[in-house]
Structure 1
Amino acid sequence: MNSTEGIEELSAKLKAQKDSIQTEEATKNAFVMPFISRVLGYDVFNPLEVVPEFTADHGTKKGEKVDYAIMKDGEVQILIECKHVGDPLNVKHASQLFRYFSVTNARIGILTNGQVYHFFTDLDAPNIMDQKPFLILDLLEIDEIVLPEIAKLTKETFNLDSVLSSAEELKYVGALKREIGNEFREPSKDFVKLLMVKVTDRRATSDNLLLFNELVGKACNQFLKERVHERLKTALGESDNRYQEVSGINETVAQIQDSTEDAIEAKQESEKSGVETTEEELAGYQIVKAIACSEVKPHRVTHRDSKSYFGILLDDNNRRTIARLHFNAKSQKYIGILDADKVETRYPIEELDEIYLFADQIRETVARLEAN
């Protein structure tokens, strides 16, 4: 069994058993030890490979233990600290992991609650564990991009140099993307000032910054919408031959762009159910709708939002799902595609434009639903 197969197996187990786990010890037995064994490939019953309740006295701290130490040639390679499944992972609560990281040869620290695994190293200062993880694995929201990085930590292919060389990029690219997203959603004063001085000679007074804060927000939203619009036109142009069944490209673009009614309906639904429909979900819906319009008329492609996912439907029928957008998790977005047996496969995406990569699958799904 390779690491990816182990992750998939453990994910299914977690879904089935998570709610029945009441203690940290049960979390270790049910999920963490299987992760060490089936995903990382170490023998949890061999003390030469895995040491539970690992102790390494540090200064005045005597007898403190870290939950697991993974060994190689008598040296500690990976330290693992566990919390109860469902508990939030706060690095401030991992004091043993920090201390042991500095007094052993370990270069990898893992903080986990059995569902989410935070992987740390010492990019910021030698032998001092970073405050922020360079890699995050959520077994209930698997990001396929991280799977090759997990494989580098397995017993058979353990390659510390390879892990560390990619850790810096993984950490900072992820952090930069989050910051860019934050600036687009809610521009900071520094960001507004940076752009303001490039387009006007006005002084950066409080009143001017307040004015440009609103203008920058509008510009960011328009920029994103224009990018989506460009991709819509490209997708519709590529599918021009099949589009003859509908009334023309210009009409379809107009129908897709006119999301005002969709936004009003989504807001009304969210007020009733507590579900919040985001602009990203509506933009993603528009892209899927544009792709689906090569197979059916636009008005037949609808959406329903829920707390779990944003569903895109044919004929407003939950049993005729075209795709699902899983945009609620902060760490990773997914598009879900259902096969003929209604089994959903989730694919990670970073940008809305990546939905176009699944255009053929979306069209196949719509054609299959239309044929049934």
Structure 2
Amino acid sequence: MDFIDQIRTLASTVNSRSKVLNEEATKTSMVLPLIKRLGYDIFDPLEVTPEFVSDVGTKKGEKVDYAILSNGKPIILFECKKASTELNADHVNQLFRYFHATEARFGILTNGLIYKFFTDLEDKNKMDEKPFFEFNILDFKDSDVMELKKFTKTAFNRDALFTRAMDLKLARAIKDRLTNWITDPPDGFVKLLSADLAPKYRPAVKKQFADITKQVFKQLIDELVNERLKETTPILKNATTASPFEKLTAEGQNLTTENELMGLNIVQGILRGAVDSNRLSLRNYKTCPTIVLDSNSQKPICRLSLNSKQSYMIFFDENKKEVRKDIKSINDINSYARQLTLTVTSYLA
């Protein structure tokens, strides 16, 4: 099984375990399985050491939850919190102390769902305050898995990882800056854009170009999203067999609308961590367009009605009973991520 498939399988099981109440259960059922999939022997204390002693200053007996060892020396530290914990600065400071007291160059703070990767890019042997990479086991892209794979036992290379960490840090900073520019373009950027078009950069020109720049950014993003939707949305085909839920329209099957395609894209994004997006497709049934798994009408994920005055979606409980929820906008689909994830994981079990 490929590494990405291993992570997808883990994601489908982790979601059902995320309600565990304590830290030990989180470590045993959520963190250790990931470490195992990274290729480390969790039953070999010389490779994966639990409660690794990391004495800090005058404090003796300080222990980090797990240390990955290579040739007897720590290379990665894991500090774990229970699944319901919102990781914060206090938890980062705790890992910071352990990091400073060991030879490890990489520290990971996790609650079993979110994994935050730290190193010492700014000051040697002093862990940075911000992670250079974050991995969400329930919401990841293929590119995230490729970054995670660099931490597997067979691929681990400290120097190469350190260089990659710097690249990721810079990429994140540039992305944040561009995001800010989209919503509030700085004067210097607007002035640069207007240099050839309006040589006299007066206050009125400044305001005009700032407003136009924001509009153009929004238009450009919308165009890119629409192009992406056209590329990734699977071609719809009529099913050949009837479903116990409902039958396909025999004649004049409804055309798929742009809203429905956007709805499909949102659901694919929500479930990306649990199932390959290509396994989800849209089927036009008599009563309501339905997103199904593996083109199987007996595996409905949800129904979407987005073209009437009152938009709504229907998801399914554990008995496949329909539950309807009215929605005000297509983005409200995100509010039902938990129900959608539970449905798709029930088919994968």
> TM-score, normalization: structure 2?
0.64
State the alpha-carbon separation in 2 of the partners of residues 285 and 73 from structure 1: 47
State the alpha-carbon separation in 2 of the partners of residues 96 and 286 from structure 1: 43
Q: For structure 2, which runs of at least 5 residues remain unmatched after alignment? A: 239-251, 281-293, 301-349
**Given the alignment of the two structures, is residue 287 of structure 1 paired with residue 237 of structure 2, yes or no?**
no
Aligned to 1:311: 263
Candidates 149, 155, 177, aligned match of 2:153: 155
Q: How does 1:180-191 map to 2 (within 5 A)?
A: 180-191=178-189
RMSD of aligned residue pairs (Cα, Å): 3.7
What secondary structure is seen at the aligned counterpart in 2 of 1:137?
A: strand
Measured after TM superposition, the shift of residue 220 of structure 1 is 1.9
Amino acid at match of 1:113: N
State the alpha-carbon separation in 1 of the partners of residues 27 and 182 from structure 2: 40
Measured after TM superposition, the shift of residue 77 of structure 1 is 0.6
Aligned to 2:211: 214
1:162-206 deviations in whole A, cap 9, x for unaligned?
32232222332233234323322343455445445564344565x
Between 104-113 and 124-133, the greater mean CA deviation after superposition = 124-133
CA 1:209–1:59: 2 relative to 1, 3 Å: farther
Q: How does 1:231-270 map to 2 (within 5 A)?
A: none
1:220-264 deviations in whole A, cap 9, x for unaligned?
234445x54xxxxxxxxxxxxxxxxxxxxxxxxxxxxxxxxxxxx
Q: Is the 8 A contact 1:134 1:168 kept in 2?
A: yes
Aligned to 2:134: 136
Aligned to 2:172: 174
What secondary structure is seen at the aligned counterpart in 2 of 1:29?
A: helix
> TM-score, normalization: structure 1?
0.61
CA 1:44–1:286: 2 relative to 1, 3 Å: closer
Between 209-218 and 134-143, the greater mean CA deviation after superposition = 209-218
What secondary structure is seen at the aligned counterpart in 2 of 1:105?
A: coil
Measured after TM superposition, the shift of residue 209 of structure 1 is 4.6
Q: Is the 8 A contact 2:92 2:129 kept in 1?
A: no
Aligned to 2:39: 41
State the alpha-carbon separation in 2 of the partners of residues 5 and 291 from structure 1: 21
What secondary structure is seen at the aligned counterpart in 2 of 1:216?
A: helix
State the alpha-carbon separation in 1 of the partners of residues 104 and 16 from structure 2: 33
Q: Is the 8 A contact 1:51 1:71 kept in 2?
A: yes
Q: Is the 8 A contact 1:2 1:39 kept in 2?
A: no
Aligned to 2:81: 83
Aligned to 1:145: 143
Measured after TM superposition, the shift of residue 68 of structure 1 is 1.1
Q: For structure 1, which runs of at least 5 residues remain unmatched after alignment? A: 229-279, 313-322, 345-372
User: How much identity, in percent, do the aligned residues show?
Assistant: 37
Amino acid at match of 2:115: Y
CA 1:167–1:204: 2 relative to 1, 3 Å: farther
